Chains A and B, each alone.
Chain A
Amino acid sequence: MSLEFLNAFKFLRKDTIIHRLDPRVKLIFAIVYTINALMFTEMIPLFLIFLSLIPFILLGKLVKQWIKSIRSLAFLFIFIIVINTLFITNNGFSFSIAMIIRISIMISAFSIFFLTVDPNDLALSLISMKIPYEFAFSFSLAFRFVPTIANEAQNIIDSQQSRGYEMQKKGIINQIKNLFPLLVPLIISSIKRAFNVAEALESRAFGSKKERTFYFSIHYTKTDWIFTFILCFILLGLIFIRFQIIIMPEWFKWSLPL
């Protein structure tokens, strides 16, 4: 097993229009798309929302990573299809497809966010939203440690495998039991690291002054405003369609006969 799929959520330094956007725009983007996805349960509108993500992916040159993030969810998708088709008698299959598209939208939106936002900028943008520095910093620190923890998890898997640990085992109970040799070392070393980081921060006088100055600053540019307007427009438009059912065209509600 490899934890490669976590790479779909790791910041990737590139020079594209999406990467250059202010992190706040990208946060709005992720939130808008999540709301969009949660507003509908019909296949067609969800699919259209999904399609509308593609220009962002192409602009950010993120196709490879995006495919990886979607592919990593294949197991979950199969699970959703099977459970929904079995237990929902009325249009279960269509519903499960809609749910899959919904999850894909949310995963893609956040994947784009994480892939294009530098963790350092994230702290700055949170501070500009008047969030206290300590919280903003711990949030961006958490981000920064995602790849480190993924790396560590891989090392743990390797060391356990080297002493005969088998990844795939039959039966749900066995599989859950099988997680202990991986999770316990991972949690313990993460806690240890957290203490180390805290000590290192304190020894560098973290939090000694209330007011902080920053080496870099972020500004909302014209492009940022344009993207924000487009996103707000999409959101308001979809809210309008959602609540004025009459406007929602009949074909929006179409579903598979299954």
Chain B
Amino acid sequence: MEAVNPLILIDEIEFSYPNNTFALRNISLKVNKGELISIMGQNGAGKTTLIRTLNGLIRPSTGSIYIKGEKIDSKSVAELSKIVGIIFQNPMHQLFSNTIEEELKFSMKNLDLSKEEIKQKIDVILNKFNLEKYRDRSPFNLSGGEAKKLAIASIICRDPEIIIFDEPTLGQDAKEIDFFLELIHNEIEKGKTIVMVTHNIEFTFENIPRIILMANGKIIADGPTEKVLTNEFLVKKSSLILPQIQQFKQGLKEIGIKVPNEIFKLNDMIMFLNNYLKIKLSKE
């Protein structure tokens, strides 16, 4: 088999803040094209610091980062932001224009696009995010959820290959989370790579195939979500709790109902219980 270069390769990086607190210790990581990854861990574990190193906002003190096989040390943030788009937690930190259209225009400023191309892209993006009706409105009148949508739109319109979210589901209602889920699946289908930092255990367990657990600036686990998040030791070490399905499974086990190991999703669980009850009732 031909060896494929990983899209992101982090090679033993370390970083400490000026007050000498270690934020990242000896981090090595490989991310391939098209992956969907969640980074979890307690507050202060170094998750946000780690994602900030990916577009050069933070430069590690030792070690190197390669994106698409190239070392990023000498590249500017502006250059890197064409490949890596980070959507930060607070959308209010980036909105400043008079209208939503201008806000999106600002994002596409240094992409060498013609006026028509920019206009076309804005049309597509506004449509995709259901923000068409707000086009000429001030971004400061948007609700929290819509502002977040706009912040996401202002990165997606730049078409970066790697999209990084910091707490995307925070403060979002169920409908907005569904929209977000659809969006990330769409982007993955287009061949994008998505990394997100989140505290939302259920969301990750249901939807994200790979997880990275961090604690005290180190990566303590990296693997398939259903393996990592069902490991009680790891979950405890990173100050998380087991996903509800897993807790439910344990509860069922205690009353003598054994759920097969491969059931992780809510739908599978419903199917299993359905069958189980049918069999049980027919026996009686």
Chain A: residues with CB nearer than 8 A to chain B?
4, 7, 152, 155-156, 158-166, 180-181, 183-185, 188-189, 192
Q: Are A164 and B158 in contact (CB under 8 A)?
A: yes
A-B contact pairs, 7 of them (CB 8 A): A161-B55, A163-B94, A163-B155, A165-B78, A166-B78, A188-B92, A189-B92
A156-B94 in contact given A4-B18, A162-B155, A165-B78 (Cβ < 8 Å): yes
Among B52, B55, B82, B106: residue with most chain A CB under 10 A: B106
In the complex, what residue of chain B is closest to A180 when comparing beta carbons?
Answer: B96
Q: Mark B244-275, 1 if CB is under 8 A from A, else 0.
A: 00000000000000000000000000000000
How far is A188 from B109 in the complex, measured between Cα atoms in Å?
A: 23
Q: Are B77 and A161 in contact (CB under 8 A)?
A: yes
Q: Are A162 and B85 in contact (CB under 8 A)?
A: yes
Q: Are B95 and A162 in contact (CB under 8 A)?
A: no
A152-B86 in contact given A161-B57, A161-B77, A164-B78 (Cβ < 8 Å): no
User: Quick check: is B140 within 8 A (CB to CB) of the other chain?
Assistant: yes
How far is A181 from B92 in the complex, measured between Cα atoms in Å?
A: 11
User: Quick check: is B26 within 8 A (CB to CB) of the other chain?
Assistant: no
CB distance from B43 to the nearest CB of A (A): 15
In the complex, what residue of chain A is closest to B58 when comparing beta carbons?
Answer: A158
Contacts of A159 in B (CB 8 A): 86, 88, 90, 93-94, 151
Q: Are A162 and B93 in contact (CB under 8 A)?
A: no
Contacts of A164 in B (CB 8 A): 78, 81-82, 107-111, 158
> Which residue of the partner chain, among A156, A162, A181, contacts B86 with CB atoms under 8 Å?
A162
Q: How many B residues touch the partner, as a band?
A: 20 to 34
Q: Are A162 and B81 in contact (CB under 8 A)?
A: yes
User: Quick check: is B169 within 8 A (CB to CB) of the other chain?
Assistant: no
CB distance from B68 to the nearest CB of A (A): 18
A162-B57 in contact given A155-B88, A181-B106, A188-B140 (Cβ < 8 Å): yes
In the complex, what residue of chain A is closest to B84 when comparing beta carbons?
Answer: A162
CB distance from A162 to the nearest CB of B (A): 4
Q: Mark B31-63, 1 if CB is under 8 A from A, else 0.
A: 000000000000000000000100101000000
In the complex, what residue of chain A is closest to B89 when comparing beta carbons?
Answer: A155
List the 10 shortest-distance A-B pairs measured between CB atoms, nearest first.
A184-B96, A162-B86, A159-B94, A159-B88, A159-B93, A161-B77, A163-B107, A156-B93, A164-B110, A166-B78
Q: Are B55 and A155 in contact (CB under 8 A)?
A: no
How far is A165 from B95 in the complex, measured between Cα atoms in Å?
A: 13
User: Quick check: is B193 within 8 A (CB to CB) of the other chain?
Assistant: no
CB distance from A80 to the nearest CB of B (A): 28
Q: Mark B73-115, 1 if CB is under 8 A from A, else 0.
A: 0000110011011111010111110000000001111110000
Contacts of B55 in A (CB 8 A): 161-162
> Which residue of the partner chain, among A4, A152, A161, A181, contacts B96 with CB atoms under 8 Å?
A181
In the complex, what residue of chain B is closest to A166 when comparing beta carbons?
Answer: B78
CB distance from A165 to the nearest CB of B (A): 7
User: Quick check: is B154 within 8 A (CB to CB) of the other chain?
Assistant: yes
Q: Are B94 and A160 in contact (CB under 8 A)?
A: yes
> Which residue of the partner chain, among A4, A152, A180, A183, contacts B93 with CB atoms under 8 Å?
A152
In the complex, what residue of chain A is closest to B94 when comparing beta carbons?
Answer: A159
A163-B96 in contact given A4-B18, A155-B88 (Cβ < 8 Å): no
In the complex, what residue of chain B is closest to A189 when comparing beta carbons?
Answer: B92
How far is A188 from B93 in the complex, measured between Cα atoms in Å?
A: 9
CB distance from A167 to the nearest CB of B (A): 8
How far is A184 from B93 in the complex, measured between Cα atoms in Å?
A: 9
